[in-house]
């Protein structure tokens, strides 16, 4: 207890805890103000780039397939570009990428629809770096390109035949090439995470 002769300085020295309590009771910073700098998703410019890449892949893919059908109308028709190395072949793939799992066009059409939605959702959540936007744009354009074929024709038109002599790679198209490139980029970003932050948006 403080006696009559106790000075105000002594009172302050005897009650240090109360001074600290007053400071601790200060009003907290609102949550919204503390998260002002948090990334809120891709900017409009990043969405435009994402859409432009996807549309570019889609247009090139569909135009190349129209050219193929006009030039080589029958399945199996072949045009040699570089002997034993590169040919243009009218292929009809009713399976997955590079002809895997044939006779599954309808199933892969449904899967492709789901994949298209997931790509857009993933870009909304993770499309911060330029490389991520490029990869997902390529993936989206390729997925839609092959999806249109499956919905319209019941199969995917393939036409690029590469190899050396009798050793041939799977016949593929522009959409397949875009999808494969996207997968490689995504794998690289998974191995080296900082690549996904290149040109960070916001």
Tens of pLDDT, residues 145-185: 999 998 899 889 999 999 998 888 889 999 999 999 999 99
Pick the catalytic residue from 61, 149, 176, 201. 176
pLDDT digits (tens, 9 = 90+) for 48-102: 999 999 999 999 999 999 999 999 999 999 999 999 899 999 999 886 555 455 5
Over residues 5-22, mean pLDDT: 50
Place of tokens 């895997």: 100
Nearest Cα neighbor of 198 from 130, 134, 138 is: 130
Is this structure's pTM higher than 0.85? no
Percent of the chain with pLDDT over 70: 75
Confidence of residue 13 (pLDDT cuts 50, 70, 90): low
Residue 156 sits at φ, ψ, to 5 deg, of -105, 135
The label of the residue with tokens 């993936």 reads 139
R_g of the chain computed on alpha carbons: 30
* Range from 5-9, 56-60, 188-192 carrying the lowest mean pLDDT: 5-9
For the question of residue 149 being annotated catalytic, the response is no
Active-site option among 61, 149, 158, 201: 158
State the pLDDT at residue 105: 61
Task: Show the tokens assigned to 153.
Answer: 């024709």
- Ranked by mean pLDDT, the top range of 5-19, 31-45, 167-181 is 167-181
134 φψ region: left (φ > 0), alpha (ψ -120 to 50), beta (else): alpha
Q: Is 25 a catalytic residue?
A: no
Instruction: Indicate the pLDDT class of residue 129, thresholds 50, 70 and 90.
Output: very high
Neighbours of 131 (CB within 10 A): 17
Residue 129 phi/psi, 5-degree rounding, is: -95, 155
pLDDT at 93: 87
CA distances from 202 to 32, 47, 92, 93 (A): 17, 13, 44, 42
Which of the residue ranges 4-8, 18-22, 30-34, 60-64 would you say has the lowest mean pLDDT?
Answer: 30-34
Tell me the mean pLDDT in the region 186-194.
95
**Residue 172, beta-bridge partner list:** 160
Partners of residue 49 on adjacent β-strands:
none
Q: What is the mean pLDDT of residues 30-53?
A: 76
Residue with tokens 């609102």, as numbered in its chain: 30
The kind and range of the H/E element at 160 are strand 156-164
- Residue 14 backbone phi and psi in degrees, to 5: -80, -10
CB 174 within 8 A of CB 58: no
């Amino acid at each position: 207890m403080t006696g009559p002769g106790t000075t105000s300085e002594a009172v302050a020295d005897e009650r240090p805890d109360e001074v600290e309590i007053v400071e601790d009771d200060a009003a907290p910073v609102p949550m919204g103000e503390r998260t002002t700098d948090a990334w809120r998703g891709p900017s409009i410019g990043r969405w435009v780039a994402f859409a432009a890449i996807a549309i570019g892949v889609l247009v090139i893919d569909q135009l190349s397939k129209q050219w193929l059908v006009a030039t080589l109308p029958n399945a199996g028709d072949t045009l040699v570009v570089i002997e034993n190395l590169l040919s243009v072949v009218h292929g009809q793939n009713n399976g997955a990428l590079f002809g895997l799992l044939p006779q599954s066009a309808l199933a892969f059409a449904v899967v492709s629809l789901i994949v298209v939605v997931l790509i857009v959702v993933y870009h909304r959540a993770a499309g911060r770096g330029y490389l991520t936007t490029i990869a997902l744009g390529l993936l989206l354009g390729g997925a839609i390109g092959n999806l249109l074929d499956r919905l319209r024709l019941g199969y995917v038109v393939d036409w690029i035949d590469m190899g050396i002599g009798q050793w041939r790679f799977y016949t593929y198209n522009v959409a397949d090439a875009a999808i494969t490139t996207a997968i490689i980029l995504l794998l690289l970003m998974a191995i080296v995470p900082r690549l996904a932050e290149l040109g960070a948006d916001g």
